[in-house]
Amino acid sequence: MATCKDCGQSGFFLKIVFNGLCAECAARFSLEVPRLVEIINQSAKIVDQTKNLETGISRCDVIIAKAEELLRYERQGISVVSTPPSALIVEYQLRRKALLSALEEIKGDHFLRLDGAVYRDTPKELVPLIHTIKRASDWRNLGFKAKADKHGRYKGFTRKGTAYSFQKITKPSERQSLAIEFGKKYISNLNTIRMYNTWAPTFPLDQVVFESDDLLPLWKPEIGH
Ligand SMILES: [Zn+2]
């Protein structure tokens, strides 16, 4: 006696057409499955190619929803796609999660410190900005390309052969917050101080917030020392 894998109908006169399905279910299957598979394939292509994170996320949702519709067949042991729908669901849930956190990163409008060397050839307009901390959107308003990639990293740039980078500050320390509030440079490191002392020795002390008070005496070394 034949039994249909999908509707469960059985009987001596029931004809199994293919994949263990009766004529009615087989007809529905051959109508439904290719359409779902096509939508999944198209969406997967878009997820791979799009640079728009929101598009990627919505396409992951489509894939997950369509794969869920195919799950029924997988459970019945009917093979529909080379990757089982359950595996597709897991895969695209993960990709969705990654895209979503990338999107949150970008929308987060992070604090970024512009890092880079100050020396003889440093463009004059950059000197007041280097080692200051501003929101990514503020940097963009100043004409910098401060945009996070899908890993949440901000790309730097090069001027006159020197590389500058944006350092993301996720939780500003007390002193970093002060520097942000007053638009001052934030300096935490002895080498940075040496650099300013050498190449921008006239830079005013009141434009700097130091991470440690110990660094303060190093800012302007006594002449003839
Ligand atoms: Zn059936």
Q: Kindly report, residue by residue over 187-224, the tens digit of the pLDDT.
A: 999 999 999 989 888 888 889 999 998 888 888 765 54
Q: How many whole angstroms from 5 Cα to the centroid of ligand 1?
A: 7
Separation of CA 58 and ligand 1 centre (Å)? 33
- Cα(73) to ligand 1 centroid in Å equals 12
Cα of 67 vs centre of ligand 1, distance in Å, is 20
Lowest model confidence (mean pLDDT) among 26-30, 47-51, 97-101, 208-212: 97-101
The SS3 of residue 152 is coil
- Give the per-residue pLDDT at 221: 66
Q: Which secondary-structure segment (H or E) carries 192?
A: helix 190-199
Average pLDDT over residues 183-188: 95
Q: What's residue 137's pLDDT?
A: 85
Ligand 1 centroid from CA 23, angstroms: 7
Torsion, Cα of 95, 97, 100, 101 (10° steps) = -110
Q: How far is the CA of 28 from the centre of ligand 1 (A)?
A: 9
pLDDT at 18 over 60: yes
pLDDT of residue 204: 86
Tell me the residue length of the chain.
225
Distance from the CA of 3 to the center of ligand 1, in angstroms? 8
Most confident of 62-66, 142-146, 204-208: 62-66
**So what's the pLDDT on residue 70?**
93
Tell me the one-letter amino acid at 15.
Answer: K
pLDDT of residue 224: 47
Instruction: With beta carbons less than 8 A apart as the criterion, state whether 68 and 111 touch.
Output: no
pLDDT of 139 over the 90 cut: yes
How far, in Å, from the CA of 9 to the mean position of ligand 1?
Answer: 6
Q: For the ranges 76-80, 117-121, 136-140, which has the lowest average pLDDT?
A: 76-80
- Comparing CA positions, the residue from 165, 168, 147 lying closest to residue 157 is 165
Ligand 1 mean position, distance from CA 92 (Å): 30
Gap from CA of 4 to ligand 1 centroid (Å)? 5
Whether this model's pTM surpasses 0.75? no
pLDDT of residue 203: 84
Quickly count helices (H) and strands (E) in the chain: 6, 10
